[in-house]
Amino acid sequence: MDIKGFITSGILELYVNGLASPEEVKEVEELAEKHPEIQQEIDAIRQALEQYVLSHQVQPPAGLKAKIMDRIDSAQKPRPVKSKPAATTAVPSQKTHTGYEKDSGANVSAIASWLLAFGMLAAGVLAYWFYTQNEQARTALAASQVQYEQFKQACEERQQKEDALREQFIAIRHKATQPVQMKGTKLAEDALATVYWNNVRRTSYLDVASLPIPPSGKQYQLWAIVDGKPADMGVFEVNTNTDGLTPVPFIENAQAFAVTLEPEGGSENPTLDQMYVVGSVAKG
Amino acid sequence: MQQDVETISALKEGNQTALASLYDKYGGALYGAVLRIVQSEEKAEEIVQEAFLKIWKNASSFDENKGKFFTWALNIARNTAIDYVRSSDFRSSQKTDSFDFLVYSQNHPSEETATEHIGLREIVDKLDEKYRTVIDLAYFQGYTQSEIEEEMNIPIGTVKTRMRLAIRELRKIFTK
């Protein structure tokens, strides 16, 4: 495993920015666990982005802190569920002024207050039990929500990827699509790449079958040749592209396509002695 | 940024003062990031509230061995904001002028910057706009690669290259 190459490939930057595909995320996380230098690089990238955030602080509105503290206050405090001492005073005195109240009457009243006290205590215990159950459920729900959001995001990413792949599939099958094979020059005889060019739908896709890994600081750039003049179709990466074909700009009246090796970021004009593959559009 | 070990363990025990002091320390950064995403002070205020509520409720799930508190808190705030932006029809209404946030975050009148960052802020704002945009779209707005491609009208290969160069520039700035 070429750790240094992996670190400089750009995949870690995509990962930290949330742009890596689920497979790439898995790969990065597995490798980061094994190789501390990868983890260090990830931390450094993250640190740079966080510094960026910190350098764009904005003073929040004055009342915001109080609102937050209020809300956590009410979110946290259990509603008071005391079994009130009122139980003992809740039963109105049954004494009358006749002096004739019977003993049994006093007993009934005592039993009633005990029952009432017991009932209220039980209610308090129940209320407390419901309260803790509810809090637990809420915590579990919050955790599930976080998980749900993660799944949802992963799912959306997949959907997007699938849509892109389907679109490519349709584009390749379309009757007006011409596959233009670009064969390796003497710089790399085994190199091979194809442009799927469609002048009805006005789309082009690039498929790299084989190109040598570019040295650091260099990047491949795709060109169309129109009436003998090169037209820029953008730079592309070879090593990290696992997402199918790369959509490239459509160039009208292209007669040929070629790939050259250029300084990172691309050039305005192709470096012709660094042409790796080239192929002509069949006349029709 | 020094570690917040004691504050965090107090937070985990449900200490409200701990939350308040974390707000004092990071509230401005989180609010700034959220404002950048949602483009509305009113909404940003709401979302920062939500974020701190989540931080409060889920404090026990924060694992200091896995990363810094700020990373964790910022992710919560970012995700809450991005979810809001994605869930509403916010996006379609903003589509035509989605680059406004760049202008917004630079010229907003009520904006104040923590003193220690003023110098850096100026340097960061000198960062080439094409780099700033790619970071803003990916990191703040949560765009996918193909959405960035569409928004900026550049091929995917260029998105990757720009992201790498953008981070390299940022790292140069911050290691100075």
Cross-chain residue pair A56–B14, CB shorter than 8 Å: no
The residue of chain B nearest to residue A40, with distances taken between CA atoms, is B67
Dist CA A142 CA A276 (whole Å): 54
B73 in the same domain as B21: yes
Range of the domain at A212: 177-280
Cross-chain residue pair A69–B70, CB shorter than 8 Å: no
Domain end, chosen from A173, A195, A219, is at: A173
Q: Is residue A156 part of a domain?
A: yes
Q: What is the distance of C-alpha B60 from the center of its chain? A: 23
A58 vs B83, B112, B144: nearest CB? B112
B83 in the same domain as B3: yes
Cross-chain residue pair A75–B57, CB shorter than 8 Å: yes
Q: Is residue B101 part of a domain?
A: no
pLDDT for the residue A141: 86
pLDDT for the residue B121: 65
Dist CA B37 CA B145 (whole Å): 17
Q: B32 to chain A: which residues are within 8 Å by CB?
A: 53, 56-58
Could you report the predicted ipTM of this complex, rounded to two decimals? 0.77
B119 in the same domain as B79: no
What's the gap in Å between the CA of B25 and the closest CA on chain A? 11
Q: Is residue A17 part of a domain?
A: yes
Name the domain count of chain A. 3
Name the domain count of chain B. 2
How crowded is residue A243: how many other Cβ atoms within 10 Å of its Cβ? 16
B5 in the same domain as B37: yes
Range of the domain at B57: 1-94
A56 vs B23, B36, B79: nearest CB? B36
CB pairs under 8 A between A and B: 180
Q: Is residue B100 part of a domain?
A: no
Query: What Å distances lie between residue B53 and A68, A74, A148, A246, CA to CA?
Result: 7, 11, 18, 42
Q: Is residue A182 part of a domain?
A: yes
The residue of chain B nearest to residue A245, with distances taken between CA atoms, is B156
Cross-chain residue pair A48–B114, CB shorter than 8 Å: no
pLDDT for the residue B119: 60
* Contact assessment for residue A206 and residue A193, using Cβ atoms and an 8 Å cutoff: yes
Query: What does the pLDDT profile of chain B (176 residues) look like in tens digits?
Result: 455 788 888 998 888 889 999 999 999 999 999 998 888 889 999 999 999 999 999 998 888 887 889 989 998 999 899 888 887 655 554 443 444 333 333 333 333 444 344 566 666 777 888 888 888 888 888 888 888 888 888 887 788 888 888 888 888 887 76
Q: B91 to chain A: which residues are within 8 Å by CB?
A: none
A246 in the same domain as A157: no
Query: What does the pLDDT profile of chain A (284 residues) look like in tens digits?
Result: 688 888 888 889 888 888 888 888 999 999 999 999 999 999 999 988 888 888 888 889 888 988 898 888 776 644 444 444 444 444 444 444 444 444 556 677 888 888 999 999 999 999 998 888 888 888 888 888 888 888 888 888 888 888 888 888 888 888 889 999 999 999 989 999 999 998 888 889 998 888 888 888 899 999 999 988 999 998 888 755 556 788 888 888 899 999 999 998 888 889 989 999 999 998 76
A202 in the same domain as A169: no
69-128 in chain B: CB under 8 A from chain A: 70-71, 74, 79, 83, 105, 108, 110-114, 117, 120-121, 124
B39 in the same domain as B77: yes
Cross-chain residue pair B52–A53, CB shorter than 8 Å: no
Sign of the dihedral through C-alpha A68, A69, A70, A71: positive
A207 in the same domain as A153: no
For residue A235, what are its two tokens? Answer: 């730079």
pLDDT for the residue B176: 62
This prediction has a pTM of 0.50
A182 in the same domain as A167: no
pLDDT for the residue B105: 39
